[in-house]
Structure 1
Amino acid sequence: MTARNYAQHRCPIAQSLSIVGDQWTLLIIRDALNGKRRFGEFLDSLGLSRNLLTNRLAEMVEMGLLERVALPGTQREGYAPTAKCRDLQRTLLSLAAWGDRWLPAPEGRRVVTRERGSGRPVSLRFCRDDDGIAIDDRALEVIRHSR
């Protein structure tokens, strides 16, 4: 993997970048979370070389982000997101919202997130753990524990 190794850093953001800091990894995660399972689907979506995709998928399986699964109706295997991968969905949605806001496309928003079934739009928000009340991000304070 071409991502840097930040294991020596005590920062969880830096350590996370050791795993998902490569651009292809995040895009493969995006596609897996959106239902792509077959090698060819990832290849068509991303446009990278077969060798690079093969290596990235193998690394992501090894890191526990993807798992090999039998594809229904075939003798082939595909890739499915693990719980570890699905936990990155909020991160990707946050990046997409940031990109829509700060790197706008001429045609407007490129991504809309909505609830399955109802189709009602949803957004990511910060809320207090104890009562669920939404708070403004400017009211956040991040405390770094030193041990």
Structure 2
Amino acid sequence: MQRTRFGEMACSIARTMDVIGEPWSPLVLRDVFAGLRRFDEIQADLGISRKVLTERLNHLVDEGVLERRPYDSRPRFEYHLTGKGAELVDLLMVMVAWGDRWLAGEAGPPVLYRHHACGEVSHVDLSCAHCGEPMHAGDVDLLPGPGSGH
């Protein structure tokens, strides 16, 4: 079955989903962020088929989210986040905050995040880049942007 392509839509959410909307992609990014860099490490952690993992890694490399770096002469590669990929991990951290709040249950969050700047265990919270105030769905109005075509 062919996957629906959203990359041509005038919508940043749709364009982002075109890059990471397949369910395995965010988990691959999570693993690379967590330090699993080699194909076999990622495959073992996720329990994903080799074929699907190869497709996901190729897609994420093609999209400029991951880069391949050789680690021996066979050739074999490690996968590393690019700048574009690191910013996608920021998005995943927002998903973590939501999942921890609504889905973690009594056991609590499965992973904690210590902030380098203050040393405290915390979570991501959205704020306005202009004024620094909290910025959530009820705090904004949607306006057409220059790329909207309207």
Q: TM-score range by the shorter chain?
A: 0.7 to 0.9
Instruction: Report SS of the residue matched to 2:122.
Output: coil
CA positional deviation for 1:70: 2.8
**2-structure distance, mates of 1:57, 1:113:** 25
- So what's the TM-score if we normalise by structure 1? 0.84
Counterpart code for 2:60? M
Q: Which sections of structure 1, spanning at least 5 residues, go unmatched?
A: none
Overall identity of the aligned pairs, in %? 32
Which structure carries more relative contact order (alpha carbon 8 Å, separation 6+)? 2
**2-structure distance, mates of 1:3, 1:82:** 25
- So what's the TM-score if we normalise by structure 2? 0.82
CA displacement, residues 79-126 of structure 1 (integer Å, 9 cap, x when unaligned): 111111111122101111111222123411223221238531233233
Equivalent in the alignment of 1:141: 141
Instruction: Report SS of the residue matched to 1:88.
Output: helix
Equivalent in the alignment of 1:81: 81
Across the aligned residues of Structure 1 and Structure 2, the Cα RMSD in angstroms comes to 2.2
Instruction: Report SS of the residue matched to 1:111.
Output: coil
Structure 1 runs, 4 residues or longer, greater than 4 Å off: none
Q: 2:113·2:123 contact (CA, 8 Å) conserved in 1?
A: yes
Size of the aligned set, in residue pairs, is: 144
Q: 1:37·1:78 contact (CA, 8 Å) conserved in 2?
A: yes
Instruction: Report SS of the residue matched to 1:56.
Output: helix
**2-structure distance, mates of 1:113, 1:91:** 14
